[in-house]
Amino acid sequence: MNRQLKTFEQLRSLIAQAVHQQQTLGLAEPRLIALPERDASGCNWAVAGWNTPSGAEWPACSELMQLVQSYQRQFNAVGRAPGNATAVLLPVKPGA
Please name the residues in contact with 66: beta carbons below 8 A apart, sequence gap of 6 or more.
none
pLDDT at 1: 61
Listed by start position, the domains of the chain span: 4-87
Q: Give pLDDT < 70 ranges for the chain.
A: 1, 55-56, 58, 60, 81-96
Sign of CA dihedral 83, 85, 87, 31: negative
pLDDT at 69: 94
The per-residue pLDDT for range 50-77, each reduced to its tens digit, is 887 776 676 767 888 899 999 999 999 9
